[in-house]
Structure 1
Amino acid sequence: MTPSRPAELTPEVFQQRLFAWFDRHGRKSLPWQQDKTPYRIWVSEIMLQQTQVATVIPYYARFMARFPDVEALARAEVDEVLHLWTGLGYYARARNLHRAAQRVVDAHGGEFPVHSLEAMAALPGIGPSTAGAIISISTGRRAVILDGNVKRVLARLHAVEGWPGRTAVSRELWRLAERYTPDSRLADYSQAMMDLGATVCTRGKPSCLICPFVDACEAHARGEERRFPEPRPRKALPERHARMLLLCHPDGRVLLEQRPPTGLWGGLWCFPQFEDDAALDAWLACRVPEARRGRSWTPFTHTFSHFRLQVVPQPVWLEREPPGVAEPGRMWYDLEAPPNVGLAAPVKALLDTLAETLTQAEERS
């Protein structure tokens, strides 16, 4: 049986349906929807990139309590910013957030340049869609957004072929986003589009029967909702291997070192890392030849966007503190009174396990 042709949608009809759905079903009590300043909206938009709302909410609350305005964030040490970001992942977002706050204070007198889409998009880590969301939600001015949720809605509605990362596909989605963006209720429109993608037109199992555009959706008419938008072409992820050194001080502290400011886990505090056993053994022989090497912990895999890291945690126990180990860029991390520094998620998990291990050892002794 040939599927019926989807209904035609003018921008006016699209907006009317979307607003009617949002007024009834949209989310209106999220923390960043209260007191919609550019600063509060900006922080929420950065946190929500590639992260679900439920995960973001407690991080947002802690972040706002510590950094209530852009001046407070700009004055902070990047270590503290990364510490509050620990567990959210994609740490470049936190580093860019800090850099952007400093630029807003230094170059814009502490005021976000919401009068200019170009000036907003030029801030570190923002870009055109995030700039559009900040402007439209915080000021009500017309600005177009095209985040992942909006891309999914529009790609399905019009069965837009191809991966949105390709230039031609992205150009078509921006054209559609521009076409449907109204001249009024801009804050509601931006939130409604994001809500529709997040709660109805979801990635895995879209709830098409309750969608306000079910009769107008090209992908639904074809029965191909999950085909759109097309995913990034897959490439086999290469694998890398690492030994993480869990060097334990006699008083229970553990050695960490700060990663370079850019690159893998940039600026975060991690265990010393080695490509193989030979490199780790050479470091131990040079720095702490008297150390007692324990049994390696169970290996695990941490997946990044462009490779998989196979990690073997290697605990090593010291009888006394050796000279010169905790040189600049390294610290003895106190498991009982953790400092406010940024930690990569697998490092945080290993530290928690190590703390439990030491506690159990003390209870047995």
Structure 2
Amino acid sequence: MTREVPDSCPGVLRLHQAADGPLARIRVPGGRVEPAQLQALAEAATELGDGNIELTSRGNLQLRQVRDAGELTRRLEAAGLLPSHSHERVRNIVASPLAGRVGGLLDVHPLVPLLDNGLQGVARLAELPGRVLFTLDDGRGDISGLGGDIGVHAVGADEFALVLAGGDSGIRISAADAVDIMLAAAHGFLDLSAGAWRLREVANGVAGVIDHLGLSPSAEPLAFAAAQAPPIGWLAQDDGLVSLGAGVRLGSLPARLAEFLAAIERSLFVTPWRSLVIPDLAEGVAEQVVRVLAPMGLIFDANSPWLLVSACAGQPGCAKSLTDVRADVAAAVESGRVTEREHWSGCARHCGRPRGQVTDVTATTDGYRVDRL
């Protein structure tokens, strides 16, 4: 597929002009956010935006209604959230959030800064479309099912399957070679892309990238499926500490709640399911976090109906939406009408729809249409 227009995915330096004002998307490779960074984001959301931090389906963050783009850029640079002006939109890296702590075959988090630095270190890779997604799966299968473009999936303590266009290529590589091979695959994509935004859009793209790499399949390809639920609640780590998985209603984190999270003084991970993982807590600290933050709106109950729903921006954020989708879905949840996984959309584009089995609830001029799979 050859695109007639260039990728317009927003960033910090290229804002999206949403119906309710400018929107900034902040890349956080691997979903990792440090306490000081979260505090800086909370202050920016309050002082420069609409008072909320949005979590995206790629584990990135967004601020809406940005009133001073220059000041936001200055603050994010100072917080280490904008290390490159030229490559800011291509730093799309998702990783298994529990890797190295709860299960999994191999801790993929050390690969995140190596891949991020490798992307930023090559001028040509700034040409990648902002939609290209790199995936790092520790073998549990939570990330490879997201349909990324270039990734690795652990199959042993020191071995990865090379994932291309969301599928196992059958190629097996060592952990030591993983970053270099992913970067080489990114160059191969650019050679073949002809304006395409995603590897799956390129005719014979996977075969072309494999040929560019000079590698050959050596194993039966694994099958990947989209994860149906985020890690939520009390998660016992392999080292005896605790991770807390926390849901965020419709992926919108109030700035005040973000400030409380920053005060825990732990790095946290934004997941591609619009939730959070707060790792490395002693049991007493974890209990206190739940006692304080659950009443403020964080969801630690894996059976909460809020975890069954997702929604597009809706009105007033999107001019194409036919209704205030988020208010409607909130009313449905609070009335007890949600009993299955649903995605609510303000129009037929179904923006933000998660992968996997999900019922579509789509706004039309005659009300909502429900399409069950």
Question: For the superposition of Structure 1 and Structure 2, which TM-score range results when normalised by the shorter chain?
Answer: 0.3 to 0.5
Structure number having the greater helix percentage: 1
| Greater Cα radius of gyration, structure 1 or 2 | 1
TM-score by length of 2: 0.32
